[in-house]
Each structure stands twice: as structure tokens, then as C-alpha cells.
Amino acid sequence: MRPGDYAHEGLDKLLGVEITSATGDEVRATVTVRPELLQPYGLLHGGVLCSVVETVGSVAGAAWFGDRGHVVGTSNHTNFLRAVREGTLTAVATPIHRGRSQQLWSVDIRDEQERLVAKGELRVANLVKD
């Protein structure tokens, strides 16, 4: 899957999530922290981080599953480790498990200094084409 193959619409477009590379073994994306993504205390809203985990994990799962069908998220667990107020974050999804009916992806989100900001796991169900 090429980065341009991903339909960048909806919430991902609003958040500014940019897929920079995508294969069935790893997906990378960036998001730049902007004032409209901050919560009232001036920190990046945790929902943004959860959404980034959902996006990169889903794109990775879809890239790996390929023409066999589609994937849908069934569980998203994201831990917030470091507060962020500005800068560009990089998210990397790597597989933990890729099976017949489901996949589990680990997603690390780091700041520009390579510090871990959030760590998530996304489980997706594999939906085989009829």
C-alpha cells in the first residue's frame, strides 16, 4: 500500500493525520499539534492520540489483509505517557499478531525528540470478502 492509497477524509483530515509510509509490516504517520487539537489546559487532547492509534493500526491491518477483504477496529487501548503542547508527532504501527480472524497492532507515538508520548494497541477483525 502506498501512502496515497489511503483515503484521507473525515476525522483524519480534520486532525491532520498524514500517512508517510504504509506496508503490511509497518505504517508511519505524522500529526502536527495545533491549537484546535488542545484541551482546555493547553495540552494535546487524548482523543487525538486515540484516533491516531486507530488510524495507523487500521491502515496497517488493511495493508496486510490486502485483497482478502476489509478490517474493522474492535478494541483500542491507548496509554498517555507524556503531555504535548506543540510540535509534530510520529506514529509507528507494528504487528503483534496477524491471524486468520483478527490482528493486534502496537502503535508508538513519539515527539520530535523521540520521546514516547503515547503507546497503544489496536485489535482489528478481518472481514473476508464474499
pLDDT digits (tens, 9 = 90+) for 17-58: 999 999 999 999 999 999 999 999 999 999 999 999 999 999
- What the block records as the C-alpha cell of 55 is 488510524
Query: Residue 6's closest CA among 15, 17, 88, 130?
Result: 17
How high is the pLDDT of residue 130? Answer: 80
| Digit-coded pLDDT (tens) for 50-93 | 999 999 999 999 999 999 999 999 999 999 999 999 999 999 99
Domain definitions of the chain by residue range:
3-128
Rounded to two decimals, the pTM is: 0.93
Q: Tell me whether residue 9 is one of the annotated catalytic residues.
A: no
The pLDDT score that the predictor gives to residue 67 is: 94
Flag whether pLDDT at 4 surpasses 80.
no
Q: Which of 54, 86, 112, 121 is the catalytic position?
A: 54
CATH of 3-128, one of 3.10.129.10, 3.30.420.10, 3.50.50.60, 3.90.870.10: 3.10.129.10
Q: How many angstroms separate the CA atoms of 111 and 98, rounded?
A: 28
